[in-house]
Structure 1
Amino acid sequence: MNKILVAIITFATFTTTIMAQNKTINTADSKVVWKGYKVTGSHEGTITLQSGNLNFKDEVLTGGEFVMDMTTINTTDLEGDYKGQLDGHLKSDDFFGVNNFKTAKLVFTNVKLTGKNSYVVTGDLTIKDKTNPVTVNISVYGSKATATLKIDRTKFGVKYGSANFFDGLKDKAIYDEFDLVADLQF
């Protein structure tokens, strides 16, 4: 009788282990795009994903974590001197201060299945050593996932050009929220 019980427990443990999977993100084939808005238009660019993983159980997303290399933030809608100036400004202490804060990190804290292959994730986002909760929409298809989120930069100490903190900006104001879209391969 004991041998049967041991066999059942061993099989159950083995089966559970197989059904829970941690899938590493292929950072070379994945892409993170940002888009920021101002009164007179918008700018967009990319940030390199340094590392990441998604956790699944029975093919259902249950968790994840991502680290972005903020030193790679770059503008893709400008060229020449304008691109260089904006890239430098985004890396400066006015924005992301990449000399002191080289990475940003997102850690999933709650995952809710909202439809076939669709999830709403609550996570802790850390930028410039400040951590705040964010909501992420994620769709998973096979070995690909798309994550979208809107971030209020002022919650992370990025206040440059914010009409909520500076008077008289008029058409120089930069909106507090920016978008991130990550196309992930694993």
Structure 2
Amino acid sequence: MKKFALSALFVASVLAAPAVAKDPTAPKAATSVKAGSTYKVQPQLSTLGWVGKKVTGQHSGTIQFKSGDVEVKGNQITGGTFLVDMNSLKVVDITDADTNGKLMGHLRSDDFFSIEKNPTATFKITKVTSIKGAAADANNATITGNLTIKGITKPVTFPAKMGVKNGAAAASGTAVIDRTQFDIKYGSKSFFESIGDKAIDNEFTMSFNVIAKQ
């Protein structure tokens, strides 16, 4: 919990800056913009959490970034590539060791993420668009990019709060992901209509706090 608290404080300090990627169609400012630079993702400062829901409840957990680069131009985040270590996947809401282990084994299997065959997942930003009139404490950008899970790549779009300050770039938000697009169909009513109360939602959420430094 200490790591999550420190990460949240660091993210908050960076996101207090009003810097987001601007709409490319907007008029350019009179001041010159510095050449783009690459910031390195700091896995030890960044967090990634997941929640999956089913008819009878839900489960939650964490997973870790392995590495990544964030593209910054001036005080704007313009792109990035992120590598996630699938072997770091954990379930945090089940305290019983045996039950936790069984769910972990299932999530690692071919029914879900095929982690032995696919030890990493990736996300590459393809577009960042500012949200006009966003409040200081609200999401200020929309991120679009290509997500690769189990070797399958699909486009995803989600809102985020982004900022650049004092040599650090930060982004936080929640993405909603349709697992069936990545051939994760186990327990889906879209493919098994008679599954009843054993059904698992097609969508799961990923909440992220990413810190990158020069």
TM-score tier (shorter): 0.7 to 0.9
Deviation track 1:65-105 (CA, whole Å, cap 9, x = no partner) reads 11111111110101211111111110111000001011110
Residue matched to 2:143 = 121
User: Does residue 180 in structure 1 map to residue 206 in structure 2?
Assistant: yes
Query: Structure 2, unaligned stretches of length 5 or more?
Result: 1-31
Q: Which has the higher strand share?
A: 1
Residue pair 1:19, 1:59 contacting (<8 A) in 2 also? no
SS in 2 for 1:160: coil
Tell me how far 1:150 sits from its aligned partner: 0.5
User: Does residue 102 in structure 1 map to residue 119 in structure 2?
Assistant: yes
The amino acid that maps onto 1:114 is I
User: In 1, Cα distance between the equivalents of 2:85 and 2:117?
Assistant: 12
Structure 1 segments of 4+ aligned residues over 4 angstroms from their partners: none
User: Does residue 63 in structure 1 map to residue 89 in structure 2?
Assistant: no
Identity of aligned residues (%): 39
Residue matched to 2:173 = 147
User: In 2, Cα distance between the equivalents of 1:111 and 1:74?
Assistant: 30
Instruction: Pick which of 29-38 and 52-61 moved more.
Output: 52-61
The amino acid that maps onto 2:115 is V
Residue pair 1:122, 1:135 contacting (<8 A) in 2 also? yes
User: Does residue 29 in structure 1 map to residue 55 in structure 2?
Assistant: no
Residue matched to 1:85 = 102
Query: What TM-score results when the alignment is normalised by the length of structure 2?
Result: 0.75
Residue matched to 1:45 = 61
User: In 2, Cα distance between the equivalents of 1:145 and 1:121?
Assistant: 10
Tell me how far 1:168 sits from its aligned partner: 1.7
Tell me how far 1:19 sits from its aligned partner: 4.2
From 91, 107, 111, the equivalent of 1:75 is 91
User: In 1, Cα distance between the equivalents of 2:39 and 2:84?
Assistant: 17
SS in 1 for 2:203: strand
Residue pair 1:123, 1:136 contacting (<8 A) in 2 also? no
The amino acid that maps onto 1:131 is T
SS in 1 for 2:194: coil
Query: What TM-score results when the alignment is normalised by the length of structure 1?
Result: 0.86
Q: RMSD of the alignment, in Å?
A: 1.6
Task: Select the structure with the greater relative contact order (CA < 8 A; seq sep ≥ 6).
Answer: 2
- Greater Cα radius of gyration, structure 1 or 2: 1
